[in-house]
Every structure is written in structure tokens, then in C-alpha cells.
Amino acid sequence: MKLQAGVTKAPDGLNDTAWNVVGHTYTPKLLSDNAFVWHAVIPDGTFVPPHIHTTQDEWIVVLDGELELEFGPDKHVAKAGDTVRMPQNEAHGIFNRSGATATCIFGVAPAGRLYELFTKLDNVTDPAELVRISAEHDVDFLPPPDAA
């Protein structure tokens, strides 16, 4: 799909769309074969468990608040103005443990099937179903760590 010229207004999503994915509100802003960009509202205490994008690089620009990122055993904090880089095939988890809501802009390149994935994950609350649907769309969640 070719990028369409125009302006997506601040409160709007493409095709008047917004999704509830793992307790986050994702509002799509740009979609083409080459890239997919969405605005995210990430409440305190929510997270995206460690996962791998098998066909895409991903990034986050934090607009407000703070996120914790885990790349395997490495942990990082990203604050307003910071950019997070998550390369294809590298496991990463995203956590808001800050005590306040975070807002950010996410993007992936190429777009792959992520827009379709978010459409299917809207309001899914069963973790096993989330993992199953995600795997069908080139996003693989890692198994939880063994209890010690």
C-alpha cells in the first residue's frame, strides 16, 4: 500500500480507529508498506511482555512520562524526548512502572502485518489467545521465565 498524502489530526486515528491492546490505547497515524506509526497511551502498571518482531525494526519516541525497556538481561529507562531502538529479531519488553501514564509514538519498518494484528488484538484479554494471534502476524512472545 502506498502512503497517502494528508494530515492525521492529533486526536484522530486512520479510518477513525483506535485499539485497546494489552491495556494500552493505540491510535494509528501512518500506514504504508514501508512503515506503520501509532500513538500510544500506556497507563502505569501495564506492559508488553518480551517479544520478537521477526520481520521489522521497531522504535519508540517517548513524548511524556517514562518507560522501562528490557533487552534480555539489559534494562534501560526512556524518558520524554528519548528514542528507543528495537532491532528486528531482538527480544524486547516494554514496561510502565513509573507511577504515571506515558505517551509515545511507536513505529515499525516495514509495516508488515502489525496493523492487522492490532485490529485482531483489540480488547483481547486472554494471554494465550494474544500469543497465538501474534505468532500468526510475525510477533513471537517469549515464554515466561521459570519460577525460581
User: Residue 88 is placed in which grid cell?
Assistant: 528486528
User: Are 63 and 120 spatial neighbours (Cβ–Cβ below 8 Å)?
Assistant: no
Does the 27-112 domain belong in CATH 2.60.120.10?
yes
Find the distance separating the first CA and the last CA of the chain, reported in whole Å: 47
- Report the C-alpha gap between 97 and 46 in whole angstroms: 8
Write the CB contacts of 91 (distance below 8 Å, at least 6 apart in sequence): 50, 51, 52, 71, 72, 142
User: Residue 17 is placed in which grid cell?
Assistant: 480507529
Helices 114-121 & 127-135, crossing angle to 10 degrees?
A: 160
Q: How confident is the model at residue 116 (pLDDT cuts 50, 70, 90)?
A: very high
* pLDDT tens sequence across 67-109: 999 998 999 999 999 999 999 999 999 999 999 999 999 999 9
Q: Provide the pLDDT for residue 58.
A: 98
pTM, entire model: 0.94
Give the number of C-alpha atoms closer than 13 A to the C-alpha of residue 13, restricted to the C-beta side: 18
* pLDDT tens sequence across 60-73: 999 999 999 999 89
